[in-house]
Amino acid sequence: MFERQIKIPEADEVKATMPMTDGMKKLKSERDELITGVLAGGDERLIIIVGPCSAHDTAAVLDYVERLGKLSLEFSEKLILIPRIYTNKPRTKGVGYKGMFSQPDPGKAEDILAGIYAIRDLNIKAMDASGLSAADEMLYPENYPYLDDVLSYVAVGARSSENQMHRLVSSGVDVPVGIKNPMGGSILVMMNSIFAAQSSQVFKMGSWQVKTSGNALAHAILRGKVDEYGNDVPNFHYETVMEVAENYEKSGLKNPALIIDANHSNSGKKHREQIRICEEVMQNRLYDKTFRGIVKGFMIESFIEEGAQKENKVYGKSITDPCLGWEDTRRLLEDIASKV
């Protein structure tokens, strides 16, 4: 049984009350072009999607992305930094904190109406503070239109990569979509998802039958897998990356590209392992030109303070998965930039 609680406005209504300025539209367009240049193969820089596991505190996120904006200028010749402003949080058991979209105040009950305005406000303020447009996970495809004009990168998570609606909506997204390998680790499933996202599709979205042109910038993300015993198994190593490269070559997919997620099952959620993982991948890029050609960057979980907390008591510290602290993040980005 469904109980109707609050009428939610359409995305166009929300955008009309919280519009992008002309300057922000120009900034996003320029950022989209830069990111496309890397994924399409013409730009040798690396994409780094970096930020907290979940954006739960507006003030702390804005503080973080403002710092990131300064680093972006410092490393601009080697790296393209994309703030990770994840406003939806998948839950394995379906309960717990579900992100700012559902709970703009993590200490209170769900309030999706307030959450929609909160996440749009956060992204606009973050762009203004940092000069950077952000990435978010498309956990709920029907929610994407509320942020489609502010995001420069969209991720499809491991639990969603086999879902038909995620694949269909990804085919109509106007920016790069990174699709993670599923929890079981199947490379074939991930490649099938990319194929679907790169293909033209016809489907129902909201009250409309829609047709998409296909997203040529849909690409792979390796995040590790979970075996039948619940153990984390990394898949960022040379052998798996080359398997993905071979699958791209056989499939004829456009713009072969791969992002390495340095956390999640690759690190076993041991946040400091992200440093070692990035180091190994950068060494392999130096060793093999095929590896170098397909690995386009990293996802890194990072916040102001290292680690995680159960309750929102420490400013700038994750309330979901543990993250690298700011100083370690800066050193890691500096190290990656030196090896590009």
Q: For Cα atoms 41, 45, 48, give the angle at the middle one, nearest 5 degrees.
A: 110
Q: Are 112 and 101 in contact (CB under 8 A)?
A: yes
Query: Phi then psi for 318, rounded to 5 degrees?
Result: -60, 145
> Cα-Cα-Cα-Cα dihedral of 228, 231, 235, 237, to 10°?
-130
Lateral strand order in the sheet of 258-261? 79-83, 46-51, 295-301, 258-261, 219-222, 177-180, 151-156, 134-137
What CA–CA distance (Å, rounded) separates 196 from 89? 24
In 10 A of CB 206, how many CB atoms?
9
Does the predicted TM-score (pTM) go above 0.85?
A: yes
pLDDT at 85: 98
What CA–CA distance (Å, rounded) separates 72 from 340? 15
pLDDT by position in tens, the chain (length 340): 889 899 999 999 999 999 999 999 999 999 999 999 999 988 999 999 999 999 999 999 999 999 999 999 999 999 999 999 999 987 766 677 889 999 999 888 899 999 999 999 999 999 999 999 999 999 999 999 999 999 999 999 999 999 999 999 999 999 999 999 999 999 999 999 999 999 999 999 988 999 999 999 999 999 999 999 999 999 999 999 999 999 999 999 999 999 999 999 999 999 999 999 999 999 999 999 999 999 999 999 999 999 999 989 999 999 999 999 999 999 999 999 999 9
Q: Indicate the helix (H) or strand (E) that contains 283.
A: helix 273-287
Q: For Cα atoms 157, 158, 159, give the angle at the middle one, nearest 5 degrees.
A: 95
pLDDT at 41: 84
Q: For Cα atoms 116, 223, 73, give the angle at the middle one, nearest 5 degrees.
A: 65
Query: Phi then psi for 244, rounded to 5 degrees?
Result: -65, -45
Taking only the tens place, the pLDDT of each residue in 79-93 is 999 999 999 987 766
Taking only the tens place, the pLDDT of each residue in 157-212 is 999 999 999 999 999 999 999 999 999 999 999 999 999 999 999 999 988 999 99
| Greatest distance between any 2 Cα atoms in the chain | 58
What does the mean pLDDT of the chain come to? 96
Task: Provide the 3-class DSSP secondary structure of residue 180.
Answer: strand
CA-to-CA separations, 224 to 29, 52, 299, in angstroms, rounded: 32, 19, 12
CA-to-CA separations, 168 to 11, 24, 145, 161, in angstroms, rounded: 19, 28, 14, 11
CA-to-CA separations, 237 to 27, 244, 283, 331, in angstroms, rounded: 35, 11, 11, 22
